Amino acid sequence: MNKNQYLIAANWKQNGDLKSSIKLINNIVKLYKKAKPKTDVLILPPSIYLGAVLNRLIHHKIPRKKISLGIQDISPFSNGAYTGELSIDMARDYKCSYALIGHSERRHTFLENDKTIFKKTKLSLQSNMSTILCVGETIHEYNKNLTKKVISRQLKSALLKSMNLIKPNHSKLIIAYEPVWAIGSGKSASLKDIVDVHNYIRTTLNKILGLKKNNIKILYGGSVNDINAPSILSLPNVNGALIGGASLNSKKFIDICSSI
Ligand code: PGA
């Protein structure tokens, strides 16, 4: 896959405030203009600051094709009486073209199950959003050698019934492999494990799609930083990264974007 097709996504999670979000995007844009990374860059700010971040991108004349915006989670319903939830249409109002679905913090802290994640994935794909589906095992599952079994279940439950939406346009689906134990721990998965699991995800996607090959992007996430990014991003079947902690530092983030 050529460098232009790599995707580096910044997941700011529930960090910062309005002032710090504006400062962070301003600094990212400044460094982006200097470094001119070849990768696709995506920012997933806290939803309440999407408008503010979008305004800064417009102010700095950065087209959405260069730095895209995405929403960290979406409602499983398209519209209606669902207090606190945000719809795909609302995200679109702020020019979001990506939706992150099934992040491990949604699965484990907010107890989202496979059924909810299936609904969100389907709705996002139906709405023609670029849909990043996160999968990954817990440390307990890893130690019990259950990684592939868990990932197969997560992929199949989220995707099997949406084949009609995925088959015509593979590029709308992106998978992020994030071992739960590697997220925010400072300890990323070993290069060997990343190669092995990404290869397994590729093969499983082929089986699900009934194809011999596919070009669905597979991102790695979990303690990626400016030091380990070059080696992780050069692995086969790694088509980008989902960055949490290091994306809150503009220099580290742009260094990661520039490392391939
Ligand atoms: P991290 O988070 O980079 O802080 O490990 C990654 C993620 O949760 O997407």
CATH number at residue 145: 3.20.20.70
At residue 97, does pLDDT exceed 90?
yes
C-beta of 222 in contact with ligand 1 (< 6 A): yes
DSSP SS3 for 37: coil
Give pLDDT, residue 4: 60
Distance 169 CA to ligand 1 centre (A): 27
CA 172, CA 170: separation in Å to the nearest integer?
A: 5
Pocket test for ligand 1, best of 224, 233, 253, 257 (most atoms within 8 A of CB): 224
Give pLDDT, residue 169: 85
* Active-site amino acid positions: 103, 178
Of 2-6, 140-144, 162-166, which gets the smallest average pLDDT? 2-6
CB atoms within 10 A of CB 237: 19
Q: Which domain holds residue 15?
A: 3-257
Instruction: Name the residue at shortest CA distance from atom 3 of ligand 1.
Output: 244
What percent of the chain lies above the pLDDT cut of 90? 95
The number of distinct structural domains making up the chain is: 1
At residue 1, does pLDDT exceed 70?
no
Give pLDDT, residue 44: 98
Average predicted confidence (pLDDT) for the chain: 96
CA 136, CA 103: separation in Å to the nearest integer?
A: 9
Q: In this structure, what token pair is assigned to residue 231?
A: 């080696």
Distance 183 CA to ligand 1 centre (A): 5
CB atoms within 10 A of CB 53: 25
Q: In this structure, what token pair is assigned to residue 160?
A: 């099997």
C-beta of 244 in contact with ligand 1 (< 6 A): yes
The angle, 0 to 180 degrees and rounded to 10, between the axes of the packed helices 147-159 and 114-126 is 50
pTM of the model: 0.97
Q: Using alpha carbons, select from 107, 105, 103 the residue that is nearest to residue 115.
A: 107
Distance 103 CA to ligand 1 centre (A): 10
- The answer to whether residues 44 and 98 touch, using CB atoms and an 8 Å cutoff, is yes
If you search the block for the tokens 């492999």, which residue do you land on? 177
Q: Using alpha carbons, select from 7, 12, 180 the residue that is nearest to residue 102.
A: 180
